[in-house]
Structure 1
Amino acid sequence: MTRRTVRIAMNGVTGRMGYRQHLVRSVLALREQGGLDLGDGTVLWPEPVLVGRREHALREIAGRHGLTEWSTDLDAVLADDTVDVYFDAQITSARVEAVRKAIAAGKHLYVEKPTATSLDGALELARLARDAGIKHGVVQDKIFLPGLLKLKRLVDGGFFGEILSVRGEFGYWVFEGDWQEAQRPSWNYRAEDGGGIVTDMFPHWEYVLHELFGRVTSVQALATTHVPRRWDEHGKPYSATADDAAYGVFQLEGGAVAQINSSWAVRVHRDELVEFQVDGTHGSAVAGLRGCRVQHRSATPKPVWNPDLPVTESFRDQWQEVPDNLAPGAEFDNGFKAQWELFLRHVVLDEPYAWDLLAGARGVQLAELGLRSSAEGRRLDVPELTL
């Protein structure tokens, strides 16, 4: 086996998502398995170069994982000709400037979503990357989750017949930060810092709906701030200026309707933190992060509404679990890692890759239109994007 090293500047690894999912569970996990086997006698070895603003945090992370390269000087890292890829998981408001610099330096790009704070900014990045002739990808991790992979298998296999509707429930209670520490950073609740659940989650819903069921053609949304007062990482109270819940209705190409509730102010009474129910003429399915259950029309009971009698059987027990159907001994990999592998193969082998900066711009577009829909109180068309 020949080992080929790809050096990746990773900006934002001191944050929760950048550290846990991208550095530890993706890039370092690839190293722990001996690298990425390219299938031609070559193993790709990812070499992270940690980048950020907090020197002490970078030094601590590097020491914890036996890494030797880190820097607070992004310009110097981008000027290094041995760096192949720039990855960005920073706060959204800092992303556009850094990505512009990486494009100018000729680095391949892999970035978290949303790619920019506005559609104009997202499209600008996509055009710059195209004109620079570099490879670029956007994190769209949820379509690589086991539950949604099973759901896509059902869609591709024609299980549903005509798909009528999609209903999604996402969220959990994020503590206010006064008597119990919040699970999310305080900037998520400040609009001036790029926070808000629409900005965060509508890009996810765009690619999930687009990939599985069809392009979103219109959106009607209501965004609100249910918890207006929170406490930051230092225990200081602040006013939440960003939305913490959003209720959206999306018309899909082909006629299906999707309704998705997103909230950081809801207590969970579901099997998983996110669930999607798909109803079609031939069958229905409920998919979460890992599991997926189905009910075919031939096995659908005939419920009768009678509020005067107690329910005598569990509706959940009437559904069948979708099997993993993997090879013996195999298991589903981490969704972030699976997409990292595809992107690195795209960079090195030029294999096809659909989730680029234009795909990322579609997510920014849907979030922007969702906020506008809420502000104006009306349904808005979602134009198809081109560069």
Structure 2
Amino acid sequence: MNEINIGMVGYKFMGKAHSNAYRALPMFFPESIKPNMKMICGRNEKAVAAAAQQLGWKEYSSDWKDLLSRDDIDLVDINAPSNAHKDIAVSAAEAGKHLYCEKPLALTLDDAREMLEAAEKAGVKHMVGFNYRFTPAIMLAKKLIDEGRLGDIHHFRAWFLQDWIVDPNFPLVWRLQQEIAGSGAHGDLNAHLIDLAHYLVGDISKVVGMSETFIKERPLPDESGGLSATSGHAAEKGPVTVDDATLFLARFANGALGSFEATRFATGHRSTNSFEINGSKGSVIFDFERMNELQVFFTDDKDDVQGFRRVMATDPPHAYSDAWWPAGHPIGYEHTFTHAFVEFLAALQEDRQPVPNFSDGVKCQQVLEAVELSVKERKWIDVSSL
């Protein structure tokens, strides 16, 4: 296979990110399968037509079902709002299309499991959009852990902090409506932290959490896209039905302890995505605002030079570094999507499932729902009970 024809559902924030990644692949990863950006879909015909021209898609449609009967579509990329994921993924799998779906995989654990079952039954390749895994500095952290250089892992603490909805007059966008988004900061931000915890440390066995919605009603929006919106109806409001912030504690199956914090009300934090891992032989600290760096500490350093060191993950032998820029030149957020698609297309060439796939999405959804149940019942929840 030298080329793959792609149909994409969604054209706003994630649609731009995915389109940019597809367009970068032939230039920077010429050995990869060439993505042919065949058709983009969205409900607003005028807007999706403009997006097709802007983002580089050959055709457009206002109905995603147009992708299913076409023999010239091999892969369906789903980055529409969360409430649309299941129907599109199940239908596309039944039509024999490979699947790439943004996180969280679905609105509910049952829906996520149905998506996985459909993909497995159809025998198609499937991947979930946990793009942060493909940050070279995070991949370095994974390498240090897998090689035992941090020793036994004791702690994983992570926080994803934003402030884009602190203003009570910010409109009621779809991300603040449970029936569309599923949950708020929890499903949007904690989902990434949970997946990184699974990737780096291992399975989460028990959780206990708390959450809060600080602003209960917001103005109805005139127009929204991505993480922005406008409203001309300040007097007309609707209820916010998701969490503004969710925090939880976790026990890992291997004995490590974890803490997780996701909020959209951390003033001064535009998008602080960070974690720290402490092991018996060392520690690492990562902050996505400085995504090319990993802070590393080893206990066996000599006493007079002990301390966290800054490691730049921009040069070989760090992951993907030889595909991009000369030594010391940083990469950015958009490159994580390109790396994710490199993995997906390599999996197609090698006839294996890519990682992370829908199984990882289901495992993340299981933890998300365990935390929600813990908030409701005010007690520790065994993740495996769901």
Given that residues 105 and 361 in structure 2 are in contact (C-alpha distance below 8 angstroms), is that contact kept between their aligned partners in structure 1? yes
- Deviations 1:235-293 (CA, angstroms, capped at 9, x unpaired): 234332210101111111210001011100012479x7111111222222211221211
Answering whether residue 18 of structure 2 is matched by residue 22 of structure 1, we say yes
Q: Which residue of 1 aligns with 2:226?
A: none
Corresponding position: 1:98 with 2:88: yes
Tell me: CA distance 1:45–1:8, structure 2 relative to 1, closer, same or farther (3 Å): closer
Distance 1:349 1:269, change over 3 A: closer
Q: Secondary structure at the match of 2:107?
A: coil
Structure 2 CA distance, aligned partners of 1:275 and 1:171? Answer: 9
Aligned-pair CA distance for 1:300: 9.1
CA distance in 2, matches of 1:77, 1:286: 43
Kindly indicate whether the alpha-carbon contact (under 8 Å) linking 1:148 and 1:287 is maintained by their aligned counterparts in 2.
Answer: yes
**Contact 1:36 / 1:341 at 8 angstroms: preserved in 2?**
no
Matches within 5 A, 1:216-227: 216-227=204-215
- Does 2:256 align with 1:256? yes
Residue 124 of structure 1 and its aligned partner are, at CA, apart by 1.2
Q: What aligned pairs does 1:38-117 form with structure 2 within 5 A after superposition?
A: 38=32, 44-117=34-107
Q: In 1, distance between residues paired with 2:84 and 2:55?
A: 26
Residue 205 of structure 1 pairs with residue 193 of structure 2: yes
Q: Which residue of the partner structure matches residue 323 of structure 1? A: 312
Q: Which residue of 1 aligns with 2:319?
A: none
Stretches of structure 2 that go unaligned for 5 or more consecutive residues are 223-230, 317-321
Moved more, 256-265 or 348-357: 348-357
Residues 269, 102 of structure 1: alpha-carbon distance in 2 compared, 3 angstrom cutoff: closer
**In structure 1, C-alpha distance between the alignment counterparts of 2:356 and 2:343, rounded to whole Å:** 10
The answer to whether residue 346 in structure 2 is matched with residue 345 in structure 1 is yes
Structure 2 counterparts to residues 153-232 of structure 1, below 5 A: 153-176=143-166, 186-193=173-180, 194-232=182-220
Indicate yes or no: 2:277 matched with 1:295: no
Q: Which amino acid aligns with 2:123?
A: G
CA shift digits 1:120-169 (9 cap, x unpaired): 11111111111111111111111111331222122123232221111112
Distance 1:136 1:23 in 2: 18
Amino acid at match of 1:162: D
Query: Cα–Cα, structure 1 residues 298 and 45, in superposed 2: closer, same or farther, change >3 Å?
Result: closer
Conservation of the 8 A alpha-carbon contact between 1:171 and 1:268: no
Structure 1 Cα separation of the partners of residues 106 and 155 of structure 2: 30
Matching residue of 1:8: 6
Q: TM-score w.r.t. structure 1 length?
A: 0.84
Contact 1:150 1:322 in 2 (8 A): no
- SS of the residue corresponding to residue 258 of structure 2 reads strand
Match of 2:31 in 1: 37
Alignment partners' CA distance in 2, 1:219 and 1:338: 31
Distance 1:110 1:204 in 2: 16
* Paired position in structure 2 for 1:274: 273
Contact 2:244 2:265 (8 Å CA) reproduced = yes
Q: 1:301 to 1:221 in 2, by over 3 A?
A: farther
Q: SS in structure 2 opposite 1:158? A: coil
Change over 3 Å in CA distance of 1:178–1:215 after alignment to 2: closer
The amino acid across from 2:68 in the alignment is L
Displacement of 1:352:
4.9
Deviations 1:286-343 (A, max 9, x none): 11221211232255989xxxxxxxxxxxxxx952102327237266571111011111
Equivalent of 2:113 in 113, 119, 123: 123
Q: 1:257 to 1:178 in 2, by over 3 A?
A: closer
1:64 CA drift (Å): 2.2
Q: Which of these two proteins has the greater Rg computed from alpha carbons?
A: 1
Range moving further from structure 2, 145-154 or 219-228:
145-154
Check conservation: 1:216, 1:252, Cα contact below 8 A.
yes
Partner-residue secondary structure (3-state), 2:106: coil
Q: Offset of 1:177 from its aligned partner? A: 5.4
- Sort the Cα spacing of 1:231 and 1:36 in 2 relative to 1 into closer, same or farther, 3 A: farther
Root-mean-square deviation (CA, aligned residues, Å) is 2.6
Give the conservation status (yes or no) of the 8 Å contact 1:148–1:288.
Answer: no
Shift of 1:345: 2.0
Per the alignment, in what secondary structure is the counterpart of residue 217 of structure 1? Answer: strand
Which amino acid is the alignment partner of residue 106 of structure 1?
Answer: G
CA contact (8 A) 1:7 1:82 kept: yes
Aligned residue for 2:313, secondary structure, equals coil
- Aligned positions, number: 357
Query: What TM-score comes out, normalization by structure 2 length?
Result: 0.84
Question: Aligned residue for 1:310?
Answer: none
Structure 1 residues not aligned, in runs of 5+: 303-316
